Structure 1
Amino acid sequence: MARIVVVGPHPDDQELGMGGTIARLASQGHHLLLLDMTNGEPTPLGSPEIRKAETAAATKILSPDPAEHPGSVPITRMLLGLTNREVQHTLEARHRTAAVFRAWQADMVFTTYPVDAHPDHRAVTRIVEDARFDSKLSKITMPAPVDLWTGATLEGPGVEDGGKQTRPCHPKWLFYYYATHLRWVADPSFVFDITGCVDTKIDAIRAYHTQFVLPEKNRKVVDWVAASAVYFGSRIGTDAGEPFHTREPVGLNSLASLAI
């Protein structure tokens, strides 16, 4: 099964952009790590403690029930700890992110689409793109990263020497999900079928109570996300879908590789 890292500039970005895909992939037995680059604070109604609890609740909702999905793997989540509203594309940020990829031995990485009004989103996309390259570097020390949600060192197959080093890797795939602050409709490279996972996605978004339930003006965001899932599902002939972009071609070896 694939080892996947889903990067979000802030807690809730992953759920908004690809919560259904996360739930589906986890239920299929893939190993998912959700990497929050910042804790998302300050916000008008939140606090670091509240956002931590909301993030844990959302992750639990997305994680599959092993009784219903034998062979599934619980979702792992960690906080890198960059500063919300001040994310910068720096060598330090690149290498800290690359250390996550190496520790997890990521085969595949998802991050936000590069065209966005939010400076944090644009910066994170650049960090992830360069970290993907940096993760394969040899003759460099990249210690195992610490999860700032819990204070624990991330465990993974690439952690070596008691956490003092991580083994090089190079994620084969980099895909972009849409959680943009621009008012435009995505023109995706492909759409992932999330039929049966929409309710899970919406419940995970609503777990961020301070962001999408308490602020009345933000409640409609949930409706927009649900409508988007129906629209993109209709583009591939299913009940629901999530759009993705890739800068590299996706290969097929038979028509059976096409889901629809």
Structure 2
Amino acid sequence: MANILIVGPHPDDQELGMGGTIALLAGQGHNILLLDITNGEPTPYGDPETRKSEAHAAAKVLAPEGAPPLKRLLLGLPNRTVEHTIEARHKVAAVIRAHQADIIFVPFFEDAHPDHRAVTRLTEDARFDAKLSKLDLPDPVDQWTGESMPMGEPTYPKWLFYYYATHLRWVANPSFVVDVSGFEQTKIDSINAYHTQFVLPEKNRRVVEWVRASLVYMGSRIGADAGEGFFTREPIGLTGFSQLS
């Protein structure tokens, strides 16, 4: 099984972009860590404690019955002002090492939200830093709980994929689509766990309908009931074609 790191600028980005895939991978038994770079606050209806509760509730929704619970860690960079600094980069690299990530998922690199762009660039560079010898990195500390993760050896995740949770009004052109048929409602429930973001603000309730529409559209591209698209800058190697949808 793979060690999978799913990076979100704010709690809810991972669920919006790839909640169905997270549930699918969790059900397959992979070791999944959700890394929230910021706590997402301030927002009109939220507060730090509520967002913490919502984030952990969403993670529980995405772990199917009988699957290992999803881990979630808050890095604690400031919301709305995430910057690409060496210090921030090394904090992300430390999480990559501590988790010994094989696969990383990050937001698509073209986005109107500065935090999204900064987080993706940070993680791309941290992926490289995580493999460097003679680079001392601090043990990651979860700002949700105050608990630390023990540091691992230098490592270089083999894959980095981009999920779509963009603020740009454009049509995604994914490199591949994951069949998430059967996980549609799980994804929706994980999004609605963020009550302060998608239930209380009336204008945001339509986001859930957009997510449903996207699931159907992406699924239609591969002949499935539901799908989630991903992008890669690196070619994916195949040993056969039996798994192609």
Is the shorter-chain TM-score for this pair beyond 0.5, marking a shared fold? yes
Provide the residue aligned with 1:168 in structure 2.
Answer: 154
Provide the residue aligned with 2:12 in structure 1.
Answer: 12
1:153 aligned to 140, 148, 155, which one?
A: 148
Misfit runs of 4+, over 2 Å: none
CA contact (8 A) 2:3 2:30 kept: yes
TM-score, normalised to structure 2, is 0.99
CA contact (8 A) 2:100 2:152 kept: no
Structure 1, residues 186-212: CA drift from partner, whole Å, max 9, x if none? 000000010000100000000000100
Taking the aligned partners of 1:10 and 1:83, their CA distance within structure 2 comes to 10
Taking the aligned partners of 1:218 and 1:194, their CA distance within structure 2 comes to 24
CA contact (8 A) 1:143 1:166 kept: no
Question: What stretches of structure 2 of length at least 5 have no aligned partner?
Answer: none
2:133 aligned to 131, 138, 147, which one?
A: 138
Taking the aligned partners of 1:140 and 1:13, their CA distance within structure 2 comes to 30
- Superposition map of 1:1-260 within 5 A: 1-66=1-66, 72-154=67-149, 159=150, 165-258=151-244, 260=245
Taking the aligned partners of 1:166 and 1:30, their CA distance within structure 2 comes to 18
Taking the aligned partners of 2:237 and 2:127, their CA distance within structure 1 comes to 20
Structure 1, residues 10-46: CA drift from partner, whole Å, max 9, x if none? 0000000000000000000100000000000000010
Percent of aligned pairs sharing the same letter: 67
CA contact (8 A) 1:118 1:181 kept: yes
Structure 1, residues 125-177: CA drift from partner, whole Å, max 9, x if none? 100000000000101111220001111012xxxx3xxxxx4310000000000
Structure 1, residues 35-64: CA drift from partner, whole Å, max 9, x if none? 000000000010001101110110110112
CA contact (8 A) 2:99 2:152 kept: no
Report the 3-state secondary structure (helix = DSSP H, G, I; strand = E; otherwise coil) of the residue aligned with 2:204.
Answer: helix
CA contact (8 A) 1:3 1:108 kept: yes
CA contact (8 A) 1:89 1:126 kept: yes
Residue 73 of structure 1, CA deviation: 2.1
Provide the residue aligned with 1:69 in structure 2.
Answer: none
Amino acid at match of 2:82: V
Taking the aligned partners of 1:226 and 1:149, their CA distance within structure 2 comes to 30
> How many correspondences in the alignment?
245
CA contact (8 A) 1:142 1:166 kept: no
Taking the aligned partners of 2:139 and 2:159, their CA distance within structure 1 comes to 22
Report the 3-state secondary structure (helix = DSSP H, G, I; strand = E; otherwise coil) of the residue aligned with 2:46.
Answer: coil
Structure 1, residues 58-99: CA drift from partner, whole Å, max 9, x if none? 011011211xxxxx3221000000000000001011100000
CA contact (8 A) 2:29 2:68 kept: yes
TM-score, normalised to structure 1, is 0.93
Taking the aligned partners of 2:138 and 2:88, their CA distance within structure 1 comes to 13
Taking the aligned partners of 2:116 and 2:12, their CA distance within structure 1 comes to 13
Structure 1, residues 188-243: CA drift from partner, whole Å, max 9, x if none? 00000100001000000000001000000000000000110000000000000000
